[in-house]
Amino acid sequence: MGTVCVVGSINMDHMIGMQRLPVPGETLLGRTMGKFPGGKGFNQAVAAHRSGAAVRFFGRVGNDSEGALLREAFDQIGLEDRFLQVDPDSPTGAAQVLSLPGSENAIIVVPGANAALDVQALPEALLGADVLMVQMEVGHDTASAALALGKDAGVTTILNAAPSGSVTTATLALADIVVVNETEAAELGGVEALLQSGPDAVVLTLGARGAEWHVHGAEPIRVPAFRITPRDTTGAGDAFCGALAAALSAKISCGDALVRAAAAGAIVAMATGAQTETLCPRNLDRMIARGNDIIESVQ
C-alpha cells in the first residue's frame, strides 16, 4: 500500500441505543450507551490505516479531557499524531449518535475545534503522499484550501462531499475523485452534474445495492454489496472511503478498489462503532474471497 493523508474532522462520539427517536417534549429511556473516537476524517484515517496504508491524519482537537482521550487513541490504534493540532480555546468536536433498530442511526455533530483547523502546515504532511482524502465536516474554506494544496503537491485528491450542503462547483473542481451517497448526489444535481464540475471520476455508494464508479463517456463500473447481517452502520461509509483511498494509493484498479472499499464498509457494519479492529487486510481478503455468500462474521 501507499501513503494516504487525511484532512478532516475528529470527534468524540457519544452513542445511545434507542428503540425510536423522541418527539418534541418527550423523554425516552435509552437501551445502551457508549463513547468512541469518531469524526468522518478520523474514521476514514483509521480505516485506511487498518486497510494497510501508511496514514497521516491532519486535524484539530481541543485542549480538554476529550482531546486527551483522542490523542491516546492514536497510540492505541498505531497512528502518529504529529499533525494533530490542539486548540487552546475551542472544545473537541462531539457527535451524539442515536442508534436505532434495523442498524439505522441519527447523528448530531458539534464541530468545536474542527472549525478552526489550520492547513498552513499541510504541505509538510503531503510530502511523499500518494492520496489526499478530504471531507466537508471541516468547513468549505478549509476543505477547498486542503484540496488546492493537494493539487499543488501532485497527489490524487479525493473529496467525500459530506455533508453536501456547503459543497460548491469550485470545490468539486479541485477533486480528482468525488465520493457521494445517493442523497448527497441528488442534492448536488446528480452524477452527470458532478462530472461536469471537473472531477475525473464520481464514486456513488448505494448502501445495500453496492457502489458505482462513474467517468465521462463510459458505462459505470458496478460492484454489488456484500450480503451481511448489519449490526451498526455508523461509520460504514467512512470505512468505505478510507479503504478506497488505501487501495488507490497502492495503484489498485478502480474495480478492485471498489470491491475492497465495499468489503471494508461491510466489516464495519457488522460490528459496533465506527472503528472496529475487525477491519484489517486479512479480513478484507477473507470477505472478498467469500464473494456472494451470506456473511455473519469475518472472524
Specify whether the CB–CB gap between 41 and 61 falls below 8 A.
no
Length of the chain in terms of residues written: 299
**One of 75, 176, 238, 256 is an active-site residue; which one?**
238
- Residue 152 annotated as binding site: no
- Residue 57 annotated as binding site: no
* Distance, C-alpha 292 to centroid of its chain: 25
Helix axes 40-50, 65-77, angle to 10 degrees: 10
- Residue 235 annotated as binding site: no
- Residue 42 annotated as binding site: yes
- Residue 43 annotated as binding site: yes
- Residue 39 annotated as binding site: yes
**CA atoms of 114 and 118, how far apart (whole Å):** 9
* Distance, C-alpha 272 to centroid of its chain: 16
Phi, psi (rounded to 5 degrees) for 277: -75, -5
**CA atoms of 151 and 279, how far apart (whole Å):** 30
Closest-CA residue to 12 (of 34, 30, 39) = 39
- Residue 237 annotated as binding site: yes
- Residue 41 annotated as binding site: yes
Helix axes 236-249, 40-50, angle to 10 degrees: 50
- Residue 232 annotated as binding site: yes
- Residue 206 annotated as binding site: yes
- Residue 190 annotated as binding site: no
3-state helix, strand, coil in the chain (%, to 5): 40, 25, 35
- Residue 59 annotated as binding site: no
**CA atoms of 288 and 263, how far apart (whole Å):** 7
For strand 201-205 and strand 211-215, is the pairing parallel, antiparallel, or unpaired?
A: antiparallel
**Joined grid coordinates for residue 230:** 448489519
- Residue 168 annotated as binding site: no
**CA atoms of 38 and 274, how far apart (whole Å):** 7
**CA atoms of 165 and 92, how far apart (whole Å):** 23
- Residue 63 annotated as binding site: no
- Residue 207 annotated as binding site: yes
Active site residue 238: yes
- Residue 40 annotated as binding site: yes
Name the binding residues for ATP: 181, 205-210, 237-238
Name the binding residues for K(+): 232, 234, 268, 271, 273
Name the binding residues: 11-13, 39-43, 137, 181, 205-210, 232, 234, 237-238, 268, 271, 273
Catalytic site residues?
238
Name the binding residues for substrate: 11-13, 39-43, 137, 238
